[in-house]
Chain A
């Protein structure tokens, strides 16, 4: 089944409340996906060359301080810790940080890289993960979240959504792809590295590969209509955009609510029912294969 949610705030006033608006959306969709959950939030982008690196420890009571002490350079960057998750802000070159994380961090996984994105995801009930990761405290411009009911690959923190690829891009998926392995083989021949056997990862890396080749996200999605086989409602975000698309059959649900203050997306309306001004919002169901894109 799975649940997807997303919200983009159009004005500055609500941005300190992003987490408070998004958390009940995610928790409400716990009925559609009780086995794992994740949330990506986007902040105002950092100035070059600084990046945010979203990290997750593999063990529950991980000693982040000790891990930080193992860094080869104490001035690597600033580490904000939230339970099993941490956010590293560093001015080091991206490739160098990625290499370093591989060297020192068998116990720490990199979830996302970018100037704006921050990702949390784990195994467990969405309500429990929201509490542990303090989702209500998060601020930002937009967020996408996912509650997972696994149907095609194992339940693990790595298989939870959002999936990320490249910088400042993430995707959550309700549905299932039927040709993820052929997509994957095609991409692996081009040197693209996969981290899981999850179908959504294939979709995410396909879109990011198209963008790397020069497509806009919208053009990449058009390519996906002929390349990705299966059912999907995809909700994606970049540093400045929230993008929604459903496959041609649209067996997987989505509802959009838009006001002057925000645009919100959920698998079901009840995940949006608490939002301010919802009674007067323009509430609609997105059409099949139509790309909906909203800018920050």
Chain B
């Protein structure tokens, strides 16, 4: 039988909770940690490096599940800035909305936002995957280097500005593309990748309805001596 550990942030500090998660949690004994009364506090379950399930039961603040490795973290509510910032592996799921900078600089793993994500979603992502059931705000995928960002709703202005090699899929309306981002043909490989991402995130959507946005790679050859134009 799985053992569940209950932690209550009404009685414990963030440091006590995170020290338990980092140093005292024995994955052979505990499969699940439930954290109550997050009340918008910051840095909950940041720095996880163990294969357990963490449930945060309420709205969380900034940097929740930051730098996540291995763990499966679900926030049952909204999150503040930079959820799953620099995620390395594992899964982070938000059942509500996310504020700015979802999975900023994420290297690996999967981040699922079941509501909307606001501005700068996936900024500078380096290989993680992000699936947003709702909309994303302005500057989603800004300077994103690797990985996939899936937006099932609409994308705000300047999508994919200064994009490197990350691929963005958007089902709804794109308010505007950022510098050097361009819409490209969906290939069978894209449909396959998107199907897998949607299945992994548990979000139902028809892959053929998505548009693909990737780098035009013109900024790769930006010429500083030629009137600073590209």
Q: Which residues of A are interface residues toward B (Cβ below 8 A)?
A: 249-250, 253, 255, 268-274, 279, 283-285, 287-288
Contacts and interface: CB of A to CB of B under 8 A. Distances in A.
Size category of the binding interface on chain B = 10 to 19
Contacts, number: 46
Contact of A269 (B61, B100, B137, B138): B61
A284 B77 CA distance: 11
Contacts of B78: 269, 283
B172 interface: no
Contacts of B99: 253, 255, 285
B41 A270 contact: yes
26 contacts: A249-B138, A250-B100, A250-B118, A250-B119, A250-B138, A253-B80, A253-B81, A253-B100, A268-B40, A268-B61, A268-B62, A268-B80, A269-B40, A269-B59, A269-B61, A269-B78, A270-B41, A271-B40, A273-B40, A279-B58, A283-B59, A285-B97, A285-B118, A287-B137, A288-B119, A288-B137
A273 B59 contact: yes
Interface string B108-124: 00000000001100000
B123 to A, nearest CB: 12
B90 to A, nearest CB: 24
Interface in B53-83: 58-59, 61-62, 78, 80-81
Interface string B21-51: 0000000000000000001111000000000
Interface of B is mostly: loop
Contacts of A287: 137
Interface of B: 39-42, 58-59, 61-62, 78, 80-81, 96-97, 99-100, 118-119, 137-138
A285 B117 CA distance: 10
B48 to A, nearest CB: 21
Contacts of B100: 250, 253
A268 B81 CA distance: 9
Nearest to A283: B78
Contacts of A288: 119, 137-138
Given A253-B81, A283-B78, 10 more contacts: A250-B119, A255-B80, A268-B80, A270-B39, A270-B41, A271-B40, A272-B40, A274-B39, A279-B58, A283-B96
Best-buried of B40, B42, B99, B118 by chain A (most CB within 10 Å):
B40
